[in-house]
Amino acid sequence: MTDLVVGIDIGTSGARALAMDASGTVVGQASARMDDHGANHREPCVWWRTLAVALDRLVAEVEAERVVALAVDGTSGTMLPIDSYGRPLGDALMYSDAVGDAEILTAIAAAAPSTSAAHGATSGLAKAMHFRKNLAPWKVVHQADWIAGKLSGRFGVSDENNALKTGYDPVARCWPDWIEAAGADRSLLPDVVAPGTPIGRIGADAARCYGLSPKVVVVAGTTDGCASFLATGAAEIGEGVTALGTSLTVKVLSAEPIFAPQYGLYSHRIGDRWLAGGASNTGGKVLAHFFADNRIAELSEAIDPARPSCLDYYPLVGKGERFPIADPHLAPRLEPRPDDDARFLHGILEGIAAIETLGYGRLAELGGPKLKTLRSVGGGAANPVWTGIRQRRLGVPFLPARSEEAAAGAARLALQGAVDAGVLRP
């Protein structure tokens, strides 16, 4: 009987639990929708009820007694005030919620280095300072921290990836002194460990509830974005992952960190390596603006990816770009539009591929590695014509993603933690 680990992904609309064996093979997965357990997705009890259903469904699919470790990923920048028993003192502020307190934002702007990810109204630090100002929390924790705390009974522990937007310094590996200068209280922030670090055993209540062994190790997790990268199997310097979703996101494993706030670029520490990346305003939203999905599939059949369209597009829905060009006034370039819709689509696909190529080039210019291989995730990755266009532009081997599920990335961290804790042989 082989051992298993479990990865848990808490998303914006649901929860997914995934079981993986020691070889990295997914052997079971289950999910649940938050809307089925409460309309207020900022309410932590809705997260917990949703996760409980997903875990119940998973352990009904696999043998619960085989599980030796688990890890959790959550949405980056989602913050929750708790008391010393881990009880929420109110609703969370989600990753996209903005703090409107000008005093807090001004204080952070004055104290934080320009390279810090704590700048901005949606940063984790701004939310922690807001909770301190309006409540009396014991700790302010990230979404994944709280779920892991509910499972282990140990609250107030976070990971280096979730802590980045709260002001954590991943190079020095500490909460920096400037946080106090900004008016924040470091004692309210969680202790931080590396993703994949064993942080304790599962609590008796959780073990009994899900039929798990009391020896199950709870492992420090990560953000949903980092988990999605890890899920693909990319693990070497120069390996990149492009997400072709509503927007275009490019990420690459680097030997050195890259911090370029003018491009929205920050680096997450992954062991002794760094995950650097950026997001463009181009992507699937541009395609959806002009064509329905079935029309894209139909028109793609008429496109030869080996031949250029001879159109020079920079596809955007409106003005403004953040990466690889930092220009809030950059206008879309989608003219001239040919009468042939297939050629027009061809030009858009080429334009997005050109932005992707420029993005990886920009990462290399800023100190990252030259792209060696690429894995693709998201809806656009299923279009073989687009893939052919991108392969011609990027000129590197395209490798299959082992998984597109963030929960699989969390499970990989659980594997690492299980080995470190001595409950699983490497």
Q: Calculate the dihedral angle through the C-alpha atoms of 298, 303, 305, 309, rounding to the nearest 10 degrees.
A: -130
Give the Cα separation of 221 and 406 in Å (integer).
11
Q: Is residue 287 part of a domain?
A: yes
Q: Is residue 231 part of a domain?
A: no
Distance of CA 371 to CAs 224, 279, 357, Å?
23, 17, 10
Mean pLDDT within 139-158: 97
Residues 250 and 326 in one domain: yes
Q: What are phi and psi of 235, to 5 degrees?
A: -150, 0
Q: What is the CATH number of the domain that holds 36?
A: 3.30.420.40
196 φψ region: left (φ > 0), alpha (ψ -120 to 50), beta (else): left
Residues 217 and 247 in one domain: no
Give how far the C-alpha of residue 164 lies from the chain's centroid of Cα atoms, to the nearest Å. 12
- Please give the tally of structural domains in the chain: 2
Whole-model pTM?
A: 0.93
- Tens of pLDDT along 246-277? 999 999 999 999 999 889 899 999 999 999 99
Residues 163 and 44 in one domain: yes
Q: Is residue 385 part of a domain?
A: yes
Residues 245 and 153 in one domain: no
Q: Is residue 250 part of a domain?
A: yes
Q: Is residue 192 part of a domain?
A: yes
User: Confidence class of residue 27 from pLDDT cuts 50, 70 and 90?
Assistant: very high
Amino acid at the residue 10: I
Distance of CA 26 to CAs 19, 32, 252, 416, Å?
6, 18, 24, 15
Residues 106 and 203 in one domain: yes
Structural tokens at position 127? 């939310």
Mean pLDDT within 359-366: 97
Residues 207 and 258 in one domain: no
Q: Is residue 141 part of a domain?
A: yes
Q: Is residue 243 part of a domain?
A: yes
Domain span holding position 261 = 236-399
User: Confidence class of residue 1 from pLDDT cuts 50, 70 and 90?
Assistant: low
Give the Cα separation of 125 and 104 in Å (integer).
9
Residues 20 and 155 in one domain: yes
Residues 240 and 169 in one domain: no
Residues 254 and 113 in one domain: no
Query: Do 64 and 214 form a contact (C-beta atoms < 8 A)?
Result: no
Sequence-distant (6+) residues with CB within 8 A of 262 are 326
Q: Is residue 426 part of a domain?
A: no
Q: What are phi and psi of 415, to 5 degrees?
A: -60, -45
Residues 176 and 298 in one domain: no
Residues 80 and 98 in one domain: yes
Q: Calculate the dihedral angle through the C-alpha atoms of 365, 370, 376, 378, rounding to the nearest 10 degrees.
A: -10
Q: Does the pLDDT at position 426 exceed 90? A: no
Residues 35 and 118 in one domain: yes
User: Confidence class of residue 322 from pLDDT cuts 50, 70 and 90?
Assistant: very high
Q: Which residue do the tokens 């989600």 mark?
A: 94
